Amino acid sequence: MSAISVRVPAKVNLQLAVGPLRDDGYHDLVNVFHAVSLFDEVTAAEPLDGDPSAAPLGVRVEGDLTGEVPVSDDNLAVRAARALADRAGRSYRADLLIRKSIPVAGGMAGGSADAAAALVACNELWGLGLPVEDLMEIAADIGSDVPFALLGGTAVGTGRGERLAPLETAGVFHWVFALADGGLSTPRVYGECDRLREEAGVAAPTPAVSEALLAALREGDAKSLGQALSNDLQPAALALRPSLAGTLALGREHGALGAIVSGSGPTCAFLAESAERAHELAALIKDVDGCRAVVTAHGPVPGATVAG
C-alpha cells in the first residue's frame, strides 16, 4: 500500500480528578474519557522518490488553526511514527498529512489523537502487523491521552491517565462544544491548579471515580450524567481564562444538562438532552464573547480507525 488514512476522535473528560503531584512530575489522576464525533484524519504515505536529504518522517498539516501545530520533530504524530519504527527495530520513511478538525490546544487531545492515528497508519503502511496491545504500550510512552485515542468509546484512566479500563455505556450522548479564541497550555493549567490548592491550604485528595457518573453512563441517563460531570482543573482554567465562566453560565441558562471545561481547556462542553436540543443550544451560544466557533457532536464513538 502506498498510503493509509486513519480517522481519530476528540475526547471530552466526563470526570477529571487530580490527585497529588508525583515524583515523576505527573499527577495521580482518575480520568473518565469519552470519545466524540469530532475527527482528525492522518494519512501516512510512502515518500516520493527524489530528494535523499528529505526528513525520513515528514509532516504537513491542513485545516483549522494549522499555524499552531508544529511541523517538526516536536509533532506528536512524528514522535509516534518514530517510536513505532524504533519498536520494530528498522528504519522506515513516511510522509504524514494531518487534516485537523479537533481544536488545537483546546483540552480535547487533538495532538494525542494525531499520535494514535499515526501509530495505526504507519503500522499498516509498513506492514508491521503489531497487535493493539503493543500499540497501546508505545502510545503510553508518548503521552497520557494517546492510549485512549486508540481505544475510543468511554473509559476510565488511572495512574497519569494511561492505564485504561472500558466503561459500560448505554445509548448516545449529545454535545455542544464552544471553541475558545486561543489555547491554554496543559502544564500551565496543572501548575495553576497546584498553586490554587496551595494558596487555599487544601491538600490534593486521592482521586476516585464518581459512582454517580458510572451509574449514569450504564443507564444512558443524560440528565444524571450532566449533574455528575466534574473537572478538578476547571477552577485553574477559569483563573487563567476568566471569560470561560460566562460561556459556561450561558450554556446552563439555555438548558444544558451539564456544562464543563473539557480537560485543561479552554473548550467548554455542554451536554444536551437530544441532537435537536444540541443544535438549538449551539445556535443560542455561538456569539458569546471569546468563542470563535461552536460545534455539535455525539458520543461515544470508536477510537483510531483505518478509513474505508
Tens of pLDDT, residues 115-139: 999 999 999 999 999 999 999 999 9
Strand-pair partners of 218:
none
58: part of which helix (H) or strand (E)? Answer: strand 57-63
Q: What pLDDT score does 260 carry?
A: 97
Q: Is 266 annotated as a binding residue?
A: no
Q: What pLDDT score does 55 carry?
A: 66
**Please, what sign has the CA dihedral across residues 68, 73, 74, 80?**
positive
Catalytic residues, which ones?
Answer: 11, 145
Q: Is 103 annotated as a binding residue?
A: yes
Q: What pLDDT score does 242 carry?
A: 94
Residue 196, C-alpha cell as written in the block: 490554587
Q: How many Cβ atoms sit within 10 Å of the Cβ of residue 279?
A: 14
> What digits encode the pLDDT tens for the residues 33-80?
999 999 999 999 988 765 555 668 889 999 866 667 878 888 999 999
Cβ 249 vs Cβ 258: under 8 Å:
no
Q: Is 63 annotated as a binding residue?
A: no
Q: What pLDDT score does 255 carry?
A: 96
Phi/psi region, residue 252 (left: phi>0; alpha: psi -120 to 50; beta: rest), is alpha
Strand-pair partners of 238:
none
Q: What is the DSSP letter of 264?
A: T
Q: Residue 273: helix, strand or coil by DSSP? A: coil
Task: Give the CA diameter of the chain.
Answer: 62
Q: What pLDDT score does 67 carry?
A: 67
Strand-pair partners of 9:
39
Residues 6+ apart with CB under 8 A from 201: none
pTM: 0.92
Cβ 100 vs Cβ 65: under 8 Å:
yes
197: part of which helix (H) or strand (E)? Answer: helix 186-200
Q: Is 108 annotated as a binding residue?
A: yes
110: part of which helix (H) or strand (E)? Answer: helix 110-125
Q: Which domains does the chain have, with CATH numbers?
A: 3-168 (3.30.230.10), 173-299 (3.30.70.890)
Strand-pair partners of 12:
34
Q: Is 136 annotated as a binding residue?
A: no
Low pLDDT (below 70) residues in the chain: 1, 49-55, 64-67, 308
Residue 228, C-alpha cell as written in the block: 455528575
